[in-house]
Structure formats: C-alpha cells, structure tokens
A and B are shown apart, each in its own frame.
Chain A
Amino acid sequence: TQLLEQSPQFLSIQEGENLTVYCNSSSVFSSLQWYRQEPGEGPVLLVTVVTGGEVKKLKRLTFQFGDARKDSSLHITAAQPGDTGLYLCAGLWNTDKLIFGTGTRLQVFP
C-alpha cells in the first residue's frame, strides 16, 4: 500500500510565525502535489512538483520535492489567518492514481 504520511497532523500558531509541513512515503512518486481544502469544499491545487530536488515558491509558500521523489515539504513564511485550512499532499502513483496524504490541519490565530 502506498502511504503518504504527513506531519504534524495539527498545527496551531500565531500570525507571523513560520511553519513547515512534511509529507513522507516509502514509495517513489511520478509527481507530487499540494492542495489546500476549506471546510465543505473540494481541495484546491497549490503546486505540482515533478523533478527530484525541485523547489517551487508561491508567494509565502515554498515547496520542495525530495531528491528521491519520496517526500516533500511545504514551508509557510509569516503565516496569516487566511492560511488556515487543511493541507494535503498527494502523490501520483504509477502515473495513474492520485493518492492523498493523511493531511495537516493548520489554524493561524490573529
């Protein structure tokens, strides 16, 4: 079973703090995506990383794909209340199925 473990499971921080979310697996993925989901809505794609070692930046968000394409991280600088949500990594398995990680629930307090 291809399993994507995210850590931490929950994160509660003050506005302005930095944070990192990790997504780890023992499997190699063709590509890895990060999503954010609001309650009662579908997940929204933030970024796709494809190449081992790749780093992508999206404003205050920095995404990194591990060299072996088994893990990834999401770093948020100066978190804001609007960053609150469920963050999900998802790996593309066998170029066919998108398997989601266990999720990290982030709460940013003003």
Chain B
Amino acid sequence: GAVVSQHPSRVICKSGTSVKIECRSLDFQATTMFWYRQFPKKSLMLMATSNEGSKATYEQGVEKDKFLINHASLTLSTLTVTSAHPEDSSFYICSARARWGQFYEQYFGPGTRLTVT
C-alpha cells in the first residue's frame, strides 16, 4: 500500500527558533500534499495545500510567513515553522494524494509532535 512518512516524529525546540518537518511519499508520486494541525483531543484542521512546483495555498487564518511550505519534488513536501512560540506546539500531520486511474486517494503520515519551550 501507499506509505507516507514524516520526519522527525517528535521535536522539541526553543522559542524563537525554526523547525522543519519533512513529509515523503515513499512508493508513489504526489503532486499534491496537505498539511494538517491537530490540537489535543481535537480533530484535524487543514492548514495548507501544497502543490509540486508551485506556491502552497493556505487556509484562512493560517499565516503563510509563519508556516513555510515547500513542495520541491513529487515525493517531498516540507513545513517550516519559523520563529516558533509555545502556542505553535501541536501535532502536525501531512498527507499525500495519489491518483489511481480516475480516482484519488489521500494517505496520511504518522504525524510530528512539536513542542516549543
């Protein structure tokens, strides 16, 4: 089956620093990847849609300068949380969309737990 990996799985950083999270589709190409944020005991909130070779599309209320997204290849998208603050602490989940004929399926990564101290 299609597998999506994320790295790192956990990261602790100091306030004011930046941290990069990688999302890779391991056995398929993904022209579109998505980044979600999940607060404790809550559902997933779509942050942005990442398209290979073009700028990401951010959802309303998500700061594009704060959450930098780069989709440099068909198998890799990165999310960089710039100048992180404690309120950025969260569980970040990516997903990659695969096309099978006329249908699309979206596969999710295992998530990255970010803690900003």
A interface residues (Cβ-Cβ under 8 A, vs B): 35, 40-45, 48, 88, 95-103, 105
Q: Shortest Cβ distance from A108 into chain B, in angstroms? A: 17
Q: Is the interface of B mostly helix, strand, loop or mixed?
A: strand
- Please count the residue pairs between chain A and chain B whose beta carbons lie under 8 angstroms apart in the complex: 45
- State A76–B28 Cα separation when bound (angstroms): 33
Kindly list chain A residues whose C-beta atoms are within 8 Å of the C-beta of B110. Answer: 41-42
Residue pair B46, A43 in contact (C-beta under 8 Å): no
Q: Shortest Cβ distance from A48 into chain B, in angstroms? A: 8
Q: Which 10 A-B pairs have the closest CB atoms?
A: A42-B108, A103-B43, A100-B44, A42-B110, A100-B43, A42-B111, A42-B93, A43-B108, A42-B109, A102-B43
- State A48–B4 Cα separation when bound (angstroms): 19
Write the B88-117 contact mask toward A (1 if CB under 8 angstroms, else 0). Answer: 000101010000000011111111010000
B49 close to A (CB within 8 Å): yes
B interface residues (Cβ-Cβ under 8 A, vs A): 4, 6, 34, 36, 41-46, 49, 91, 93, 95, 104-111, 113
Q: Shortest Cβ distance from A80 into chain B, in angstroms? A: 22
Q: Shortest Cβ distance from B16 into chain A, in angstroms? A: 26
Closest to B110 in A: A42
30 pairs, CB–CB < 8 Å, chain A vs chain B = A40-B91, A40-B111, A41-B110, A41-B111, A42-B4, A42-B93, A42-B95, A42-B109, A42-B111, A43-B44, A43-B93, A43-B108, A44-B108, A45-B107, A48-B105, A88-B44, A95-B104, A97-B34, A97-B46, A97-B49, A98-B34, A98-B95, A100-B36, A100-B43, A100-B45, A100-B46, A102-B43, A103-B42, A103-B43, A105-B41
